[in-house]
Chain A
């Protein structure tokens, strides 16, 4: 019963994963009649592609942008779902609560094209806010093309799209906290803030650590479409991340080997990061993604 799914993964997941060896080739798609033929006839050049990458300033620019965006989102995006969950958990009316939940989950199901389009319509130079500002005789800045505020722009897009969805797992953790803990501590005289500090936050801690690990493991993985879509508008300096670099190097200017090398570099560093972060979590006495065996 597993065979169809395994075949699909073999062809479209594992075969390309193995195909990453062209990172060590001067891959030339015209060297043979088929990609396999071309692969067999292309020249092996060892770490030549990596050497090219590591000497190329634009590659390091992409790495720098990627890491800066991850750091920025860790500070400004990561706490939002937690705060949202705590806020929503405090709503007493079940009907209001499920209404708010339905609304904030919705944008998660929109594509990045749609999200960026909506932002363009609201914040862009011809957008609703600029239009309202003009009506009142003011000039509004065009947030969609300003490289200086690009980090704020992409972070607010990410929050708009996914903070509501990210809240689910925290809500579940909050519901799992035993209410008698609150009752007992209230009986012992703990106020609102103390209960929050000593019961709510420790109750959320395992989930927070788990998601932090996952985020760290994904540090080089800031997403592709969001940046591809806005790279033209804000310029390469601000919006080039590793994924877009791979695309423009590999498929854009047809340096297949260099693109594959950049992709492989990203995958390997990501793997190391996630294993390392998990190790740190174990040291801290948390469960992490997989348990120590």
Chain B
């Protein structure tokens, strides 16, 4: 779980000899600030998870949000996953995220690899073509007209293709690919490997970490896709989870109406209260990030710094 440790000069024995001993007040103040910062992030998440797992009685006793858990009651999750709008939305978001990430990673890796070898045909103009996207914004209205003009209204592709290439991720990958020693490419070529084989067998295994980080960035982008859905998706059964979250929490729609027709056949729980269902929707939208995060977290700094320094 080290992040910056690789870059940090080792300080054996903690504090170096020349540094003064920290004052008691200083240490105390630092501790308080850090605790507050960490709690500010964790408390909302804690409350949401606990409330989503609470029964009607617990929620009523707490007068709303629950802070101290009394039981684990998954009935809210049973309700939202037994068909209806939330189930649809989770499916939609999962599909969009999987397909989008696969597409984005493929085209970005290909382009980054192509651009990482100086001396390729039209190397400079192509790089400029990609970098220019940083300065020129497409504009919301013309984008809308292009996407709807292509007939992508109410088509899940509208959530995927307009966001498929990010020049930032491309620059990060390219910078890393350029750091791979030239000799590896030379020897592979002497052994008769073509460009695709070199990419798949040599470059990608060497850059698993950066590729994972870039993949996470893309995946998070697709999972969080919201505004494109506002623009391009009208059909209820094609809404991604972020739209459903907005409707339930911010627009105050009642989730039980949306999951109408749901009966809880013999699960032995009484129907969960609206609040628990709402909180369960919140948890569903944040769970994927929480699952993937620990695996790629340690690569962040490396990936981001490579992008920032060499970009």
Contact = CB atoms under 8 A, between A and B. Distances in A.
Contacts of A182: 16, 18-19
Nearest to B135: A271
Contacts of A98: 1-3, 5
Interface string A183-219: 1001100011000000000000000000000000000
Contacts, number: 260
Interface residues of A, number: 93
Interface string B142-153: 111111111000
B293 interface: yes
Contacts of A121: 44, 47-48, 65, 249, 282
Contacts of B42: 103
Interface in A1-41: 1-2, 4-6, 8-9, 11-20, 22, 29, 34-36
Contacts of A113: 224, 226, 242-243, 245-246, 249-250, 285
Given A29-B145, A229-B246, A8 B226 contact: no
Contacts of B249: 113, 117, 120-121
A246 B144 CA distance: 12
B7 A87 contact: no
A219 to B, nearest CB: 14
B224 A103 contact: no
A116 B249 CA distance: 9
User: Which has the most chain A C-beta neighbours within 10 Å: B138, B146, B223, B243?
Assistant: B138
Contacts of A90: 30
A12 B11 CA distance: 50
B19 A186 contact: yes
B114 interface: yes
Interface string B286-311: 10011001100100110011001000
B282 A117 contact: yes
Nearest to B230: A228
B161 A12 contact: yes
Interface string A82-104: 00100110111011011111111
A94 B297 contact: no
B239 to A, nearest CB: 12
Interface string B108-127: 10110111000000000010
Given A228-B227, A250-B144, A256-B145, A4 B48 contact: no
A47 to B, nearest CB: 17
A225 to B, nearest CB: 6
Given A19-B142, A120-B249, A259-B140, A102 B130 contact: no
A68 interface: no
B245 A117 contact: yes
Interface stretch (A58-66, A69-77, A165-173): A165-173
Contact of B110 (A4, A17, A250): A4
Contacts of B133: 9, 13
24 contacts: A1-B110, A1-B111, A4-B111, A5-B130, A8-B161, A12-B146, A12-B161, A84-B37, A91-B30, A94-B2, A102-B1, A105-B297, A106-B289, A109-B293, A113-B224, A114-B245, A117-B245, A117-B246, A118-B282, A172-B305, A224-B227, A229-B246, A256-B141, A263-B142
Interface of A: 1-2, 4-6, 8-9, 11-20, 22, 29, 34-36, 84, 87-88, 90-92, 94-95, 97-107, 109-114, 116-118, 120-122, 126-128, 131, 134-135, 160, 164, 168-169, 171-172, 175-176, 179, 182-183, 186-187, 191-192, 224-225, 228-229, 233, 243, 246-247, 250-251, 256, 259-260, 263-264, 267, 270-271, 274
